[in-house]
Every structure is written in C-alpha cells, then in structure tokens.
Amino acid sequence: MPDDAVLEKSSTSEKSNTQGKECTIGEFITEAEGWKIIEVAATWEGTEYKAIGAGSQRGVKGDCSGTTNKIYVEAGFPYPYQPTFAFAGYAAKSHQFREIDVSSTPMQAGDVLLWPGHMAIYAPFPEGHPKRNTGVTKNGKNVMNDMYTAFNDRRYAPYAPYNIAAFRPDRYKVFRYFKLNCK
C-alpha cells in the first residue's frame, strides 16, 4: 500500500490506488479540439456585456467568466462555472485545467488567458482568416487579433475577437483544458 507522501505527488495512479485522492490521469486537449472551442466562441460574437457570471447567455448578455464557461461546455469540455477570481484555484484543485509555462510550451487555440479580474480565450487566427484583422490598433498600428473576449461595461463593446497586447499590457497566465481519464 503506498504511503500518503507518494499519493500526494502521484499524477498517474489508478483510482483504486489513490485511497480517495482526486484523479489526475488524463491528457491535454489537442490543437484541433482547441479550434472547436474557437468555433463555438465565434457564435458568441455580438453578445453584449453584463456581469452575470453563470447566467451568461449567447446573444443576450454575458461576462468574461460566464462566456468562457458556456463556450467550453458547449464545445464538449465541461467544467463547473468559476468566477474569474476563483479560476486559478479551481484549476489547481480540480486538475481540469493546467497552467502552461509559455516559455517552454507554446500556447494553442482554446487556451484560457487569465489576468487579475479578467479571462479570455486564446485564438491564434492564421494568415488570411477573416477574424485575424478587424481594425484593432495599438500605438496607431494595426495589430492582429489573437483572442476572443468579453469587454467590461465601460468599453461598450460586445463579445468579439481582439488583440491581447492592445487589450491589457499586464502579464496573464495561460491554462489548458485537461481531459481527465478516470471515472
């Protein structure tokens, strides 16, 4: 029987060997699955902003945490709604998302971008994609869109593609959905 120290560090133990500890066996979503998330995010374009969290509704009203949650669920990657301030803690406890070290692992479509007080979905629109260039500027220069986001009510803009650097200059964390393979 493994000791508790081994179980706490285990990320691959079969559920029968974990003595009730949470399962962490699984795999990251693929780039293709990430694009499925982006396809669903595109259907939320034009949704007006309102801070209503889990009450977000496509085409009606929504905020950053609510739209992200609803998009993931609809794309087939469910997780229980989490307000932005609780998302990192939820990810660490549930193992449903894993933080990505972007210095060693490239971001991919569908990753969650998390700032203090805001979250969005990474969407690296390729050259020629109609959502890549929608006239977003930074310092007077046209910049390419690379995320889908809800805007706060001071911005008066609906859910849409936008550029990360033009949106906020501060650092963000990146989380990738992790498909747990235990029942």
Q: Closest by alpha carbon to 21, among 7, 9, 1?
A: 7
What is the model's pTM? Answer: 0.86
Q: Is 37:109 a contact under the CB 8 Å cutoff?
A: yes
What residue segments make up the domains of the chain, in order of their start?
Answer: 29-180
pLDDT in tens, 87-107: 999 999 999 999 999 999 999
Between 1 and 39, whose confidence is greater?
A: 39
pLDDT in tens, 2-28: 444 433 444 444 444 444 556 778 899
pLDDT in tens, 132-166: 998 888 999 999 999 999 998 777 789 999 999 99
Tell whether the model's pLDDT for residue 48 goes beyond 70. yes
SS3 147: strand
Could you say which DSSP state residue 16 is in? G
| Domain 29-180 architecture | Alpha-Beta Complex (3.90)
Cα–Cα distance for residue pair 112/99, rounded to 1 Å? 9
SS3 51: coil
Q: Closest by alpha carbon to 174, among 161, 163, 164?
A: 164
